[in-house]
Amino acid sequence: MSNDSPGRKRSFTNWLKPKKSRQTLRKRGAESLMSASTTTLASVHTSYYRPSYEHEPVPPLPIAPLQAHREKYRDATSRIDTQLGENRDYTAILHALSLQETFDANDVRRTGRDNRPPGDKAIASLSWQLWRCITDYLDPKSTVCLALASRTLYRRLGRRPFTMLELPENYGYKIEFLNLLDVYLPHHLLCFPCGKYHRRTQEGQEKLQSARVLNPLFACPNERNMVRRPPRHRIAHGRNIPFAFVQLTTRAHRFSPRYGIPADSLGRRWKHDEWTLATRYYVHEGRLLMRVISQRFAPCGLPPSGKRLLLYSRDDYWPFFSACAHWRDGELMNVCKCALDHVPVPRDTGGLQGIEGKFKDAIRPGTRSDNSFGIPSQCSRCQPMRRCPFCPTEYQIEIKLAEDRRDPRAVSFRHALVVTRWSDLGDGSTPSLSQEWAACNGETDEYDSFKRLGKRAISGIFESAFTHDTIPGRRIISMNPDNKRGGEKRNDWY
């Protein structure tokens, strides 16, 4: 009677017996039986009996129809641009570049020796009085650069160019000159109140902090001097970005990472009086771009006073969300108020109207007349993106459904006002040389953003750097179509 016969109770001794399948594997050739006592790993491997079916080719596993479809078209679609549907043939692109690239004489490094005779004798042949007359036609910065060009020129021009540059009225020229030395000083940072380079005390560890925290990046005698404050740009209440951080990120991009910090490290997220704000930074073509998303849950049917309470702070009558220095001139606040009007009003559930609504839903279940949880549509006034004409700043104002996480036990969605701002904070050279920085702070009237930026939007550049597919697809119109000026002096801004 076999062990496997049904009905027989399996005893403990049977468990210790080798299995049937193991017995079949023991079948070896005659030679292996002869040398059974001296079995080694190698001999087992070589003398292992392979059944004949193992040599047969393995048929491919059947795959799902969708996977088969993807496999078939993977090669054909891998180079298709998801936005334009164009076939990005890299070979064709490289060939096009090599043909269209113009020859730039400045790119060629002059490695050959300059065989001209030294000009020192010619320079020395002119008297110092004559050289002084020549420098009278130059600005103080260029004079100092000329004096530093060679030893002979320094002897002819003397200390005068340097004392001229030190004069308080030539402060702007001095900053421009010091900015030229930036590439030679990775461990230092140019301090604008002092007009000096200071040694960085937190090299590589610099962190952007709240405006309430004194966050010195170097030991500076003017650190607490409220009259000569370092330049900074206001983001929102209690938050600003000092110019030193624009310097650090753009330097790191321009020269090498040891000159500063990466732009990603500046991103922050904070809450202020029911508003949630999040910042992100990106360096594009040597300029620091900033995006601030400000969000707040918005109730429906607000009266004008309610909208003002929601938008403006009682402390200083500035908006809670991030805005450029020109927010009072133009349509920005009116557009926000218009967007608040589009928050859907929930259906009246009491009385006869409630019964009517329920009846309508019962007879037409697909089309709910109550759209209080739908995506609201905005009008032609508040739907387009807005660009400030006086500075490189763009705004997008939306009403979105957002998750309310105040109650962790319940999942609830409410409508929120979302104001997204994109700004170009400039190349971090100096606060006056960097046109974008000066414009964002309202310190220059010469900046025309529509002329400068043209058709390429800051929002488009910024978003395309992070996402491949979702670039804001709205048209951009002026935030201030009438080119109003004056800010608080006019009485229509509130």
Residues that bind Zn ion (CB under 5 A): 191, 194, 220, 324, 326, 338, 378-379, 381-382, 388, 390-391, 393
Nearer to Zn ion (CB atom), residue 144 or residue 190:
190
**Smaller CB separation from Zn ion, 201 or 210:** 201
Q: How far is the CB of 79 from Zn ion (least distance, A)?
A: 41
On whether the CB atoms of residues 295 and 404 are closer than 8 A, the answer is: no
Min dist. Cβ of residue 242 to Zn ion (A): 12
Angstrom distances, CA of residue 218 to CA of 103, 199, 223, 298, 461: 44, 6, 9, 43, 33
Phi/psi of residue 160, nearest 5 degrees: -55, -45
Closer to Zn ion by CB, 172 or 357: give it.
172
Q: How far is the CB of 415 from Zn ion (least distance, A)?
A: 14
CB of 388 to Zn ion, least distance (A): 3
> Closer CB to Zn ion, residue 153 or residue 244?
244
CB of 308 to Zn ion, least distance (A): 17
Between 157 and 397, CB nearer to Zn ion: 397
CB 231, min distance to Zn ion, A = 12
Min dist. Cβ of residue 438 to Zn ion (A): 11
The least CB distance from residue 307 to Zn ion, in Å, is 13
We find the least distance from the C-beta atom of residue 199 to Zn ion, in angstroms, to be 11
How many CA within 13 A on the CB side of residue 373?
Answer: 4
User: Do the Cβ atoms of 477 and 385 come closer than 8 Å?
Assistant: yes
Residue 446 exposed, middle or buried by CB count within 10 Å (0-12, 13-18, 19+): exposed
Give min distance, CB of 69 to Zn ion, in A: 44
Rounded-to-integer distance, Cα 428 and Cα 255, Å:
13
Which CB atom, from 157 or from 220, has the smaller least distance to Zn ion?
220
Q: Is 133 or 379 the residue whose CB approaches Zn ion more closely?
A: 379
Pick between residue 191 and residue 244 the one whose CB is nearest to Zn ion: 191
Based on CB atoms, which residue is closest to Zn ion, 156 or 421? 421
Q: To the nearest whole angstrom, how small is the minimum distance from the Cβ of residue 104 to Zn ion?
A: 35
Q: Which is nearer to Zn ion, 157 or 391 (CB)?
A: 391
Q: Specify whether the CB–CB gap between 294 and 275 falls below 8 A.
A: yes
Question: Which is closer to Zn ion, CB of 220 or CB of 277?
Answer: 220
